[in-house]
């Protein structure tokens, strides 16, 4: 069989149950007839087993206690968290806010709309209609909705 | 090869089950024609927009607005060339061909709108507003033309000052009650035609592009009606990882309604007088470009953002159908209600 | 509508602290960076940002952690120096008898070292799928990439791991 007819990453999808039953049946049939794909399927399921077999780890002793103590001190002082890899203290930190539009707390956690990000998404989207300058200029002022 | 799952076919099936990427059909047929054939005075903002994207210019913009009763003002630098423009204050915004990127100081650029996500045509301004053009005062040392925008009732809503020579928007003033503008954005100084290098595209950026949703695939539990009260027509429907954005326009203002399912976390919301939106009480924020209303109704949290005056926003927001009730269900309920009061057939 | 109880960071640390640290360690490959990553997750959780969607706490925390990790990877790519890893890299995989159970021969340290040798994007997909247990669709939404990309990265990551370890 030519290389173009091997299943490639569909093999991972097959192993993970991410194919429809029709596709899975067809893929499984192919695997029984193709030694290349059968070997590759075995490889990925082995690698998956390796990773699934990794144990949970404990953080260094007292790590969370230190973090919580620091966090409480900062919350009391009302200052932003300062750290090596920390985003800007202002609520409207774009990288964090934009990334976090993709995050979902569990169903019973109340929603906190990322207002700064939504304002930016609106104003930049609206700027495609009419005059961009008057729509974009306000975004140049860092939004700082205090919550 | 019978039964063999061909890789491309399987991928196509899997891809179709993944992100939606259909462009939204044109929401508004009325006034959806191209701008060609309209003079700048009929469609001043479109003319200004074309100018901003085609001219070379450098300038200093000043914004003035009211926030929590206080007058605020900020200055920004803007420069444009070859279809690219950058507005720079504490945050930088780049508009390049059909892209929009935002950079918060100290961080990477975020690409919020890649090419091709600009939505369908807006309604014409003249559908809802009256425009009257006349010679204007000098703005930033340039001769201008002023276009007064009035509502149907005759109330002055905006004044747009366009550069006589190029149609570039020199100043925009919004009025609520009385002759003093409530919000202004305008050039303090500008040099048009300067030989300026185009702003360089950013090298590192995060992509935060939305999914474009088609009109026939409004996600379950989302209202996003095709139109809101007071002439707002839906021109775009997007989703960024769970937050659905419906973008509306009345030709002059744009209004977005963001919907998220769940209950509103009230912790940290401002402790001041709220605004009534229909039966709900909404939290209100001002920002240099307009207003934000935040409220919840029946399992959905709504955030409305717009540069429209607050009373327009409230009217439009209040016209959202009840949360969790699909528009077709509302229609059916109305039909049932009507049938109940129809005289019995003979 | 009554205010609902929002899980505090203390509660998250108490109930999911090990899980979160484990995910952070599998992603970053060393203790210092794992601790930094956990603190980064704290900051983001504390800001209270996020859109609503049903899902598990593990899923939510691992999404925050993975996106924070990848953000940091992108920032570091602009710097010329890479942080040195804690453990020495294995140059050759250990020899083993053909009839011995392969999994028993491969130590967790070996797997972790091999994970760290994966490109960050592949590593993220493998961690979210095989450590956390998210579906392709969930990973796709977490990383904001198409499902096909998730599948491809996961498959290549696994293939590289297998080649590295056996």
Q: How many CB atoms lie within 10 A of CB B314?
A: 22
CB contact under 8 A, A97 and C49: yes
CB contact under 8 A, C155 and A47: no
Look-up: residue for tokens 């429209």?
Answer: B308
Percent of chain B with pLDDT over 70: 79
Long-range pairs, B114-119, Cβ under 8 A, ≥24: B114/B207, B114/B209, B116/B23, B117/A125, B117/B209, B117/B210, B117/B212, B117/B236, B117/B238, B118/A128, B118/A129, B118/B236, B119/A125, B119/A128, B119/A129, B119/B24, B119/B235, B119/B236, B119/B247
Supply B172's token pair. Answer: 């925009």
CB contact under 8 A, C71 and A95: yes
Enumerate the domain spans of chain A: 7-52, 63-140
Query: Region C60-87: what's the mean pLDDT?
Result: 72
- The DSSP 8-state label assigned to residue B272 in this structure reads S
CB contact under 8 A, A23 and B5: yes
From the list B3, B7, B292, the residue facing A119 with the nearest CB is B292
Look-up: residue for tokens 């504490």?
Answer: B90
Interface of B with A in 104-163 (CB under 8 A): 104-108, 110, 112-113, 117-119, 122
Cβ neighbours of residue B264 closer than 8 Å, sequence gap 6 or more: A110, A111, A112, A113, B294, B295, B296, B301, C1
Nearest CA of chain A to the CA of B336: how many Å?
35
pLDDT band at B285 (very low <50, low <70, confident <90, very high): confident
CB contact under 8 A, C44 and A100: yes
Supply A87's token pair. Answer: 């985003």
CB contact under 8 A, B93 and A129: no
Query: Region B151-179: what's the mean pLDDT?
Result: 93
For B99-130, write each residue's pLDDT tens digit.
Answer: 888 888 777 788 888 875 666 788 889 889 99
Interface chains of chain B (3 or more CB pairs under 8 Å): A, C
Hey, is B265 helix, strand or coil? coil
DSSP per-residue string spanning B76-125 = EEEEEETTEEEEESSEEEEEETTEEEEEETTS-EEEEE-TT---SPPPPG
Question: Which residue in chain B has the smallest CA separation from A1?
Answer: B1
Cβ neighbours of residue C100 closer than 8 Å, sequence gap 6 or more: none
For B288-327, write each residue's pLDDT tens digit.
Answer: 999 999 998 878 899 999 999 998 999 999 898 865 444 4
Query: Average model confidence (pLDDT) for chain C?
Result: 76
CB contact under 8 A, C64 and A64: no
Cβ neighbours of residue B93 closer than 8 Å, sequence gap 6 or more: A124, A136, A139, A140, B86, B87, B100, B101, B102, B103
Look-up: residue for tokens 């569990």?
Answer: A106
Per-residue pLDDT, B241: 62
Question: Which residue in chain A has the smallest CA separation from C105?
Answer: A50
Supply B189's token pair. Answer: 């100084």
CB contact under 8 A, C161 and A55: no
Enumerate the domain spans of chain B: 44-205, 210-333
**Three-state SS letters, chain C:** CCCCCCCCHHHHHHHHHHHHHHHHHHHHCCHHHHHHHHHHHHHHHHCCCECCCCCCHHHHHHHHHHHHHHHHHHHHCCCCCCCCCCCCCCCCCCCCCCCCCHHHHCCHHHHHHHHHCCCHHHHHHHHHHHHHCCCHHHHHHHHCCCHHHHHHHHHHHHHHHHHHHC
End-to-end CA distance of chain C: 58
From the list B108, B204, B241, the residue facing C51 with the nearest CB is B241
| Chain C residues within an 8 Å CB radius of A97 | 49
Per-residue pLDDT, B296: 87
How many CB pairs below 8 Å do chains B and C form together? Answer: 52
Cβ A23 vs Cβ B13: under 8 Å: yes
Per-residue pLDDT, A73: 65
Query: Average model confidence (pLDDT) for chain B?
Result: 79
Query: Average model confidence (pLDDT) for chain A?
Result: 74
pLDDT above 80 for A80: no
For C9-88+96-165, CATH gives: 1.20.140.160
Cβ A8 vs Cβ B8: under 8 Å: no
Look-up: residue for tokens 């890299």?
Answer: C89
Query: ∠B168-B289-B97 over CA atoms, to 5°?
Result: 50
d(CA B114, CA C27) in angstroms, rounded, equals 29
Identify how many contiguous H helices and E strands chain A contains and give both numbers.
7, 0
Cβ C124 vs Cβ C143: under 8 Å: yes
Per-residue pLDDT, A118: 92
Number of Cα atoms under 13 Å in the Cβ half of residue C17: 19
Interface of B with A in 258-287 (CB under 8 A): 258, 260-270, 285, 287
Cβ C123 vs Cβ C156: under 8 Å: no
What CATH number does domain B44-205 carry, 3.40.50.11290, 2.40.37.10, 3.40.50.970, 2.50.20.10?
A: 2.50.20.10
pLDDT above 60 for B340: no
For C19-31, write each residue's pLDDT tens digit.
Answer: 899 999 999 998 8
Nearest CA of chain B to the CA of A36: how many Å?
15
A75 Cβ under 8 Å from any chain B Cβ: no
Cβ neighbours of residue C164 closer than 8 Å, sequence gap 6 or more: C93, C114, C117
For C7-54, write each residue's pLDDT tens digit.
Answer: 667 777 777 888 899 999 999 998 888 988 998 888 887 765 444 344
CA A107 to centroid of chain Cα atoms: 18
Supply C29's token pair. Answer: 């490959």
Interface chains of chain A (3 or more CB pairs under 8 Å): B, C
Per-residue pLDDT, A60: 79
Percent of chain C with pLDDT over 70: 73
Interface of B with C in 3-42 (CB under 8 A): 11, 14-15, 17-19
Q: Confirm or reject CATH 3.30.470.30 for domain B210-333, answering yes or no.
A: no
Quote ipTM for the complex: 0.80
d(CA A107, CA C54) in angstroms, rounded, equals 5
B67 Cβ under 8 Å from any chain A Cβ: no
């Amino acid at each position: 069989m030519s290389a173009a007819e091997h299943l490639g990453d569909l093999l991972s999808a097959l192993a993970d149950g991410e194919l429809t039953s029709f596709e899975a049946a067809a893929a499984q049939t192919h695997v029984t007839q193709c030694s290349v794909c059968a070997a590759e399927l075995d490889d990925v399921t082995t690698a998956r087993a390796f990773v699934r077999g990794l144990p949970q780890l404990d953080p260094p002793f007292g790590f969370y206690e230190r973090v919580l103590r620091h966090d409480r001190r900062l919350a009391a002082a009302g200052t932003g968290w300062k750290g090596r890899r920390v985003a800007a203290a202002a609520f409207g930190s774009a990288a964090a806010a934009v990334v976090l539009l993709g995050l979902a707390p569990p169903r019973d956690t109340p929603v906190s709309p990322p207002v700064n990000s939504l304002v930016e998404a609106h104003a930049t989207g609206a700027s495609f209609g009419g005059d961009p300058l008057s729509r974009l200029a306000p975004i140049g002022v860092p939004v700082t909705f205090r919550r | 090869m019978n039964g063999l799952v061909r890789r491309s076919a399987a991928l196509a099936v899997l891809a179709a089950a993944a992100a939606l990427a259909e462009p939204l059909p044109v929401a508004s047929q009325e006034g959806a024609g191209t701008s060609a054939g309209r003079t700048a005075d009929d469609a001043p903002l479109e003319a200004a927009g074309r100018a901003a994207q085609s001219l070379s210019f450098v300038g200093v913009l000043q914004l003035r607005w009211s926030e929590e009763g206080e007058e605020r003002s900020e200055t920004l630098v803007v420069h444009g060339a070859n279809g690219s423009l950058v507005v720079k204050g504490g945050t930088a915004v780049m508009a390049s061909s059909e892209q929009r990127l935002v950079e918060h100081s100290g961080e990477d650029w975020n690409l919020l709108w890649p090419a091709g996500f600009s939505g369908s045509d807006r309604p014409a301004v003249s559908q809802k507003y009256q425009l009257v053009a006349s010679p204007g005062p000098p703005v930033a040392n340039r001769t201008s033309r002023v276009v007064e925008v009035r509502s149907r009732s005759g109330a002055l809503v905006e004044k747009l000052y366009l550069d006589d020579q190029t149609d570039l928007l020199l100043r925009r003033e919004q009025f609520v009650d009385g002759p003093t503008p409530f919000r202004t954005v305008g050039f303090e100084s500008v040099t048009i035609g300067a030989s300026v290098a185009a702003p360089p595209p950013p090298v590192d950026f995060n992509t935060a592009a939305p999914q474009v949703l088609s009109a026939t695939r409004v996600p379950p539990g989302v209202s996003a009606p095709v139109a809101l009260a007071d002439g707002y027509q839906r021109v775009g429907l997007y989703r960024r990882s769970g937050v659905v954005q419906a973008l509306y326009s009345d030709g002059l203002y744009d209004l977005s309604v963001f919907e998220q399912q769940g209950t509103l976390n009230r912790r940290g919301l401002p402790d001041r007088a709220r605004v009534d939106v229909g039966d709900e009480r909404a939290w209100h924020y001002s920002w240099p470009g307009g207003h934000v209303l935040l409220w919840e109704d029946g399992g959905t949290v709504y955030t409305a953002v717009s540069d429209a005056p607050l009373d327009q926003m409230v009217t439009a927001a209040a016209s959202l159908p009840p949360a969790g009730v699909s528009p077709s269900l509302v229609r059916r309920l109305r039909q049932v209600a009507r049938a109940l009061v129809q005289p019995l057939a003979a | 509508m009554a205010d609902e109880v929002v899980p505090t960071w203390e509660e998250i640390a108490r109930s999911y602290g090990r899980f979160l640290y484990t995910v952070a360690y599998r992603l970053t490959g060393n203790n210092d960076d794992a601790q930094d990553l956990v603190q980064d997750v704290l900051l983001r959780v504390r800001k209270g940002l996020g859109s609503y969607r049903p899902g598990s706490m593990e899923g939510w925390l691992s999404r925050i952690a993975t996106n924070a990790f990848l953000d940091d990877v992108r920032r570091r790519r602009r710097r010329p120096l890479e942080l040195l890893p804690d453990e020495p890299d294995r140059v050759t995989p250990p020899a083993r008898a053909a009839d011995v159970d392969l999994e028993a021969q491969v130590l967790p340290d070996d797997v972790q070292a091999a994970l760290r040798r994966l490109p960050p994007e592949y590593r993220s997909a493998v961690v979210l799928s095989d450590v956390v247990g998210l579906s392709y669709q969930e990973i796709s939404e977490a990383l904001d990439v198409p499902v096909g990309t998730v599948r491809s990265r996961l498959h290549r990551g696994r293939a590289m791991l297998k080649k590295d370890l056996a």
